[in-house]
């Protein structure tokens, strides 16, 4: 089964956005426990912690994004950022690499791991 690849920056941003929605859902669930103040407070605090975690993740990916290498995608000719040895174009999902040894090889995100598997 073929895995669906996306840009690493977009994956992390999607995770941060999902933390916001999960936080709102947790807080909303707390409203069902209005009769028990402690349970409602715990749900509200957990939801707020999820939203704060989202803020931290957004800040972290923003800092990481400023250090990413910006290249022009050869396929769609739009500027995109590369994290690691291999990444995908943010727009057209074209596999990109700056490593000359990986050019022409099949795209695999395992190339970004510190210890590469020998085949």
- φ/ψ region of 18 (left if φ > 0, alpha if ψ in -120 to 50, else beta) reads alpha
pLDDT value, residue 5 = 67
Give the residue among 118, 109, 19, 3 at the shortest CA–CA distance from 59: 19
Q: What is the pLDDT along the chain (119 residues), one digit of tens a residue?
A: 445 667 788 889 999 999 999 999 999 999 999 999 999 999 999 999 999 999 999 999 999 888 888 888 888 888 888 877 777 787 887 777 776 666 666 655 655 566 555 54
pLDDT of residue 4: 64
Q: Which residue in 24, 12, 10 sits closest to 52, CA to CA?
A: 24
The pLDDT of residue 115 is 59
């Amino acid at each position: 089964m073929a895995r669906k690849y996306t840009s690493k920056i977009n994956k992390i941003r999607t995770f941060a956005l999902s933390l916001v929605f999960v936080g709102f859902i947790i807080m909303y669930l707390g409203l069902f426990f209005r009769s028990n103040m402690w349970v409602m407070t715990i749900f509200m605090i957990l939801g707020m912690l999820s939203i704060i975690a989202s803020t931290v993740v957004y800040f972290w990916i923003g800092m990481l994004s400023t250090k990413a290498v910006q290249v022009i995608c050869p396929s769609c000719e739009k500027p995109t950022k590369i994290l690691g040895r291999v990444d995908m174009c943010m727009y057209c999902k074209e596999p990109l690499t700056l490593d000359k040894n990986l050019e022409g090889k099949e795209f695999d995100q395992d190339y970004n791991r510190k210890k590469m598997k020998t085949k």
